[in-house]
Amino acid sequence: MSNLTQLARALVDLDEELVSSLVKQKIEAGEPPLNIIKECNEGMGQIGKLFETNEYYLSELIMSGEILKGVMSELEPLLANVEKDSSSAGVVVIGTVKDDIHDIGKNIVVTLLKGTGFEVVDLGVDVPAETFVKTMRETGAKVLGLSALLNFTFPAMKEVVDQLAAAGLRDKVKVMIGGAPCNEEVRQFAGADFLAKDAATGVSFCKQIYGQN
Ligand code: B12
């Protein structure tokens, strides 16, 4: 834990005031918002580890989520301005899969996509596979983003992909997945097209699919 930055460390300590003042300082110093998010993610990862080893409990997890939401409310206006030049770049449907209510990462992706000119249909959290499929059919979107942070919700991602196939939509839709514990193995298991390790990579993928790169 010793190599954490001061900001990540403050987050792990759940020191809301220090986190807030460090973020403000960084914004004023012109630090890119995505770098600030990256630092925060390092802290969140560490909090996750402390939770796993029973040094932190659910209350600390909740608190960390609240602090991070505060950081995001500071950063959102800046993210929305990352790239303003494009008109409607395309439609992207996104949501957190069934039985999973983690949404901070997904919301970052939504903000970045909107800031890049995409029209985003955000289905929220705990979204059943049927809702994803219905929305893909209705919107004709070419990209579907699924977020999952719990190992036991990986099958829910696979369920969405399977139901897309059953509905005859699989070859019309590119599925990208994200969320801290997702890796290449999970992507293969779910049958998704793309694994995004961070929000910016997800946006690049959408640009690629909609032919902007
Ligand atoms: C905050 C938090 C919570 C908050 C969530 C608040 C909220 N509104 O989201 C609360 C307290 C509610 C919570 C609850 C639980 N949590 Co929790 N939680 C976390 C924690 C500490 C941080 C998550 C976070 O917001 N990270 C910051 C964001 C910015 O990162 P991110 O989500 O990964 O997103 C980035 C990328 O992954 C990517 N991305 C994410 N989604 C997507 C989607 C697409 C399409 C794309 C392109 C990109 C993308 O972009 C983002 C920005 O770059 C993690 C620890 C960790 N390592 O992540 C545990 C963690 C995810 N939780 C965990 C657990 C176990 C739980 C609970 C089961 C605890 C319990 N006993 O009740 C419950 C489950 C509730 C439920 N049914 O969903 C475990 C999961 C273990 C596992 N792999 O299965 C973790 C990993 C902690 C741990 N190490 O044990 N949690």
CATH number for the domain spanning 186: value is: 3.40.50.280
DSSP symbols for 141-178? -SEEEEE--SGGGHHHHHHHHHHHHHTT-GGG-EEEEE
| Domain match, 101 and 199 both | yes
Helices (H) and strands (E) in the chain, counts: 9, 5
| Domain match, 196 and 105 both | yes
pLDDT of 118 reads 93
pLDDT of 79 reads 84
Q: Whose alpha carbon is nearest atom 1 of ligand 1?
A: 65
Yes or no: say if 131 and 179 are a contact pair by the CB < 8 Å rule: no
C-alpha of residue 102 to centroid of ligand 1, in Å: 5
> Rounded to an integer, what distance in angstroms lies between the CA atom of residue 82 and that of residue 148?
25
pLDDT of 89 reads 83
Low-confidence residues in the chain, pLDDT < 50: 86
| Domain match, 66 and 95 both | no
CA dihedral sign, ordered 137, 141, 143, 147? negative
| Through-space distance between the first and last CA atoms of the chain, rounded to whole angstroms | 38
Range of the domain at 10: 6-79
| Domain match, 100 and 195 both | yes
pLDDT of 213 reads 57
pLDDT of 166 reads 98
Q: Whose alpha carbon is nearest atom 89 of ligand 1?
A: 48
Q: How many domains does the chain have?
A: 2
Residue 30 lies in a domain: yes
pLDDT of 148 reads 98
pLDDT of 80 reads 77
> Rounded to an integer, what distance in angstroms lies between the CA atom of residue 168 and that of residue 82?
36
Q: How many CB atoms are closer than 10 A to CB 53?
A: 7
Atom of ligand 1 nearest to the CA of 106: 41
Q: Whose alpha carbon is nearest atom 51 of ligand 1?
A: 105
